[in-house]
């Protein structure tokens, strides 16, 4: 997640000045389990971050986990485990987890709010930091890692956006949560674990991860802070990861006093890297004075000014009083889970099977049925089951005036949101006219094909539809082409990055939202069998394991005939590619980006998948 700052560094609203607190939108919650939301702080891969306050007035950052993460039981299991561990971390240079709900319909956690920009935002806005600041920064992060590692947690995603700059030192956030995010691609979110530019070689290669992995990331953070750019460059993730594993870092912009510190942290072999205690000693030896002393002005003046601006947090808007003509929007605001509970005690839902939230129409606009459907004087009925805690949307609740057709799977019994204005129901007369025109066109087409079949020998054909290469839309069929007609053009590829395919899950290449789904047997198109092999499940489907260095492409996958039904995972490694041909005309190119390390609770492959839908030679020639 992107920490406690908007989009890494804040936007502007036409003033040229950073916007530290974003106003709430129509889809943002007004309260979260009793925490009244004052502003949005940012959004990232794992969800949105909001500003709230405890009853005593202490600002906190509330992080709402994305719904697709919450639907994944493996993510929930890891998330609960990491939250329990994180609540034991009480270091001076960490933002402690003070509250959480891992079991409710919308998981969330609350941490102490840090009134300062991230290191990424500070360097982006103001450039590289002075040597003295970098030494204090690295020593503070190292102390935080000592506490985190002491709790049995490996951060796994230490990077500049996960380091916040406060007046009294840095704060490390989101420690351990990346381990829970290790399961995110089970739900097809496409969010990769870790940030390529700040990964360690063993992490990029899918090998074992430990405290030394965080030390490598700390070396990269130090180089970034001192030089203003990542040590292994920027660009495509696969290129950055290759340089991390096989090439030396570019430290030309790192000052000489920091050279030994950064170089030792960036050793390829984890055993050659210093411990976090040794990192602190290296910072002390590189310091001009005998000991490190953190002054109030340890940061550049421009960064300190940002901290001052972020310290003036906005208050939450008061609850809107109920109109006499309408029912109250919610029950009286009383925190269902007091934020003053002990830090080691996680929030437990107070309402068994409670309603997660009260639905509203898009952008807070209530659905209005035709005038005949509701008497003009009929008052709006209040909801039958008002929420007792948890996620509550901003804006008043409007009782639905229609029956649900397909309730959302995660909100059983809730109504379906009415369609957007562009998809509103057409008048019945227009539908009748459209049907009549369509029927006439169809009869004309059939007559033409029949006559053409008599005169020219062509036969009338049906139509076929298929998804295009981007994963949306389709192509309609037509009459069969005369002999010698050109084949249809190749479909455009649809690309899906960073999918974690867990053993026991499968992929269906025809799905627009390509995402792992549970199950390894049946009519699926590619599965990771618990017997440690990739399996072509669809009737008529096949796999081809491309040779190392062989360039995967649509042409390659069409031409290669070394078909097999399964590929053992011990034949796979980072960069290895597999062609997938399905029985219903799709072709996929699977590129292995990582393999779950030893000791991981889940066995998975991290894959990039390119899909050409309706692309087999037989389908293409139709």
CB 399 within 8 A of CB 380: yes
Q: Which of 602, 606, 611 is nearest to 581 (CA)?
A: 611
pLDDT of 607 higher than 80: yes
Q: How does residue 522 score in pLDDT terms, banded at 50, 70 and 90?
A: low
- How far, in Å, are 538, 583, 609 from residue 499 at the CA level? 20, 22, 8
Give residue 486's pLDDT band: very low, low, confident or very high (50, 70, 90).
low
Query: What's residue 399's pLDDT?
Result: 37
Q: What is the pLDDT of residue 120?
A: 93
DSSP 525: S
Provide mean pLDDT across the span 466-495.
54
User: What is the structure's pLDDT at 554?
Assistant: 93
pLDDT-derived band at 124, boundaries 50, 70, 90: very high
* Lowest-pLDDT range of 91-95, 98-102, 143-147, 424-428: 424-428
Mean pLDDT of 207-213: 90
Closest to 240 (Cα-Cα) out of 204, 289, 288: 204
Please give the Cα distance from 58 to 343 (Å, whole number).
Answer: 14
For the stretch 40-63, pLDDT in tens is 988 777 789 999 998 888 899 999
Q: Is the dihedral of CA 209, 121, 221, 296 positive or negative?
A: negative
Other CB atoms within a 10 A radius of the CB of residue 421 amount to 8
Q: What is the pLDDT of residue 180?
A: 52
Centroid of chain to Cα 139:
30
Question: In this prediction, what percent of the chain has a pLDDT beyond 70?
Answer: 64
The proportion of the chain whose per-residue pLDDT surpasses 90, expressed as a percent, equals 33
What pLDDT was estimated at residue 269? 95
Residue 227 has pLDDT above 50, yes or no: yes
Residues 397-423: tens digit of each pLDDT:
333 343 333 333 333 333 333 344 433
Is the pLDDT at 216 greater than 90, yes or no? yes
Selection from 262-271, 488-497, 519-528, 582-591 with the highest mean pLDDT: 262-271
Count of other CB atoms within 10 angstroms of residue 471: 19
As a three-state string, the secondary structure of 134-164 is HHHHHHHHHHHHHHHHHCCCCCCCCCHHHEE
Q: Report d(CA 161, CA 159) in Å as an integer.
A: 6
- What mean pLDDT is predicted for residues 422-431? 42
Q: What is the spatial distance between Cα 620 and Cα 579, in angstroms, rounded to a whole number?
A: 17
Lowest mean pLDDT among 182-196, 314-328, 346-360, 518-532: 346-360
Q: What is the mean pLDDT of residues 523-529?
A: 82
Using alpha carbons, select from 130, 124, 121, 81 the residue that is nearest to residue 102.
81
Phi, psi for 222 (deg, rounded to 5)? -65, -45
Catalytically active residues, by annotation: 157
Which of 99, 87, 85 lies closest to 54 in space, CA to CA? 99
Spatial distance between the Cα atoms of 313 and 296, rounded to a whole number of angstroms: 21
Sheet holding 587-595, edge to edge: 494-502, 604-612, 587-595, 577-581, 542-545
- Residue 412 sits at the vertex; the CA angle it makes with 361 and 503, to the nearest 5 degrees, is 115
Side by side, the strands of the sheet bearing 517-518 are 517-518, 505-507, 526-529, 533-535, 566-568
The residue that leads in pLDDT, 9 or 547, is: 547
Element (H or E) spanning 442, and its range?
A: helix 428-456
| Higher pLDDT among residues 223 and 68, named by residue | 223
Whole-angstrom Cα distance, residue 401 to residue 224? 56
| 3-state SS, residue 280 | helix
Mean pLDDT, rounded, for 477-486: 43
Going by pLDDT thresholds of 50, 70 and 90, the confidence category of residue 3 is very low
pLDDT for the residue numbered 42: 82
| pLDDT at res. 392 | 44
Query: Is pLDDT of 437 > 90?
Result: no
Residues 67-95, buried b or exposed e (16+ Cβ, 10 A)?
A: bbbbebebbbebbbebbbbbbbbebebbb
Residues 6+ apart with CB under 8 A from 498: 185, 190, 191, 192, 193, 593, 606, 607, 608
Between 528 and 422, residue with greater pLDDT: 528
State the average pLDDT over residues 508-536: 84
User: Which DSSP string corresponds to 309-354?
Assistant: HHHSPPPPPPPPPPPTTS--SSS----SS-TTS-TT-----SSTT-
pLDDT score at 560: 87
CA-closest candidate to residue 390, choices 39, 106, 27: 106
pLDDT of residue 99 exceeding 60:
yes
Lowest mean pLDDT among 15-24, 226-235, 399-408, 507-516: 399-408
pLDDT at res. 14: 36
Q: What percentage of the chain's residues is helix, strand, coil (to nearest 5)?
A: 30, 15, 55
Is a pLDDT exceeding 50 seen at residue 255?
yes
Q: Which of 28-37, 137-146, 436-445 has the highest mean pLDDT?
A: 137-146
For the ranges 112-126, 143-157, 477-491, 574-588, which has the lowest average pLDDT? 477-491
Q: What is the mean pLDDT of the chain?
A: 73
- What is the predicted pLDDT for the residue at 591? 94
Question: Which stretch of DSSP H or E encloses residue 444?
Answer: helix 428-456
**pTM for this model (two decimals):** 0.51
């Amino acid at each position: 997640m992107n920490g406690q700052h908007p989009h890494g560094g804040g936007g502007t609203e036409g003033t040229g000045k950073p916007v530290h607190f974003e106003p709430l939108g129509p889809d943002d919650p007004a309260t979260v389990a009793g925490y009244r939301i004052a502003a949005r702080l940012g959004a990232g891969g794992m969800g949105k971050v909001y500003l709230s306050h405890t009853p005593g007035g202490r600002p906190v950052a509330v992080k709402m986990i994305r719904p697709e993460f919450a639907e994944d039981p493996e993510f929930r299991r890891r998330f609960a485990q990491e939250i329990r561990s994180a609540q034991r971390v009480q270091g001076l240079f960490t933002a402690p987890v003070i509250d959480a709900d891992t079991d409710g319909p919308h998981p969330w956690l609350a941490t102490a709010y840090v009134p300062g920009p991230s290191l990424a935002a500070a360097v982006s806005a103001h450039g590289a930091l002075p040597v003295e600041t970098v030494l204090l920064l690295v020593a503070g992060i190292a102390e935080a890692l000592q506490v985190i590692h002491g709790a049995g947690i490996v951060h796994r995603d230490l990077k500049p956006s996960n380091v916040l700059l406060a007046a009294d030192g840095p704060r490390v956030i989101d420690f351990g949560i990346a381990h829970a995010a290790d399961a995110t691609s089970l739900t097809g979110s496409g969010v990769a674990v870790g940030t390529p530019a700040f990964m360690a070689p063993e992490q990029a290669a899918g090998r074992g991860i430990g405290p030394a992995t965080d030390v490598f990331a700390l070396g990269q953070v130090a180089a970034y802070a001192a030089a203003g750019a990542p040590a292994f460059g920027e660009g495509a993730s696969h290129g950055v990861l290759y340089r991390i594993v096989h090439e030396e870092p570019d430290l030309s912009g790192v000052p000489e006093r920091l050279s030994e510190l950064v170089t030792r942290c960036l050793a390829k072999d984890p055993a050659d890297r210093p411990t976090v205690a040794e990192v602190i000693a290296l910072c002390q030896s590189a310091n001009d004075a005998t000991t490190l002393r953190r002054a109030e002005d340890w940061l550049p003046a421009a960064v300190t000014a940002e901290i001052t601006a972020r310290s003036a947090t906005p208050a939450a808007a008061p609850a809107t009083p109920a109109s006499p003509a309408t029912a109250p929007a919610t029950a009286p605001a009383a925190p269902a889970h007091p934020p003053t509970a002990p830090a080691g005690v996680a929030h437990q839902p107070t309402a068994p099977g409670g309603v997660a939230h009260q639905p509203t129409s898009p952008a807070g606009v209530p659905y209005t049925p035709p005038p005949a459907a509701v008497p003009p004087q009929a008052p709006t009925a209040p909801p039958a089951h008002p929420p007792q805690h948890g996620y509550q949307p901003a804006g008043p609740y409007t009782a639905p005036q229609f029956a649900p057709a397909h309730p959302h799977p995660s909100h059983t019994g809730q109504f379906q949101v009415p369609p957007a204005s562009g998809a509103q129901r057409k008048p019945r007369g227009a539908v009748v006219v459209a049907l009549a025109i369509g029927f006439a066109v169809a009869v004309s087409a059939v007559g033409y094909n029949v006559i053409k079949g008599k005169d020219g020998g062509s036969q009338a054909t049906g139509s076929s539809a298929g998804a295009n290469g981007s994963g949306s839309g389709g192509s309609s069929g037509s009459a069969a082409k005369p002999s010698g007609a050109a084949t249809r053009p190749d479909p455009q590829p649809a690309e899906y990055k960073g999918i974690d395919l867990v053993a026991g899950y499968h992929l269906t290449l025809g799905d627009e939202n390509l995402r792992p789904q549970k199950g390894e047997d049946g009519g699926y198109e590619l599965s990771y069998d618990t017997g440690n092999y990739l399996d072509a499940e669809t009737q008529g489907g096949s796999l081809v394991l491309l040779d190392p260095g062989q360039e995967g492409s649509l042409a390659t996958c069409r031409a290669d005939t070394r078909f097999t039904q399964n590929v053992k995972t011990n034949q796979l490694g980072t960069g290895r590619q597999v062609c997938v041909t399905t029985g219903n005309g799709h072709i996929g190119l699977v590129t292995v980006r990582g393999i779950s390390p030893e000791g991981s609770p889940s066995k998975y492959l991290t894959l990039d998948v390119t899909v050409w839908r309706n692309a087999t030679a037989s389908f293409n020639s139709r």
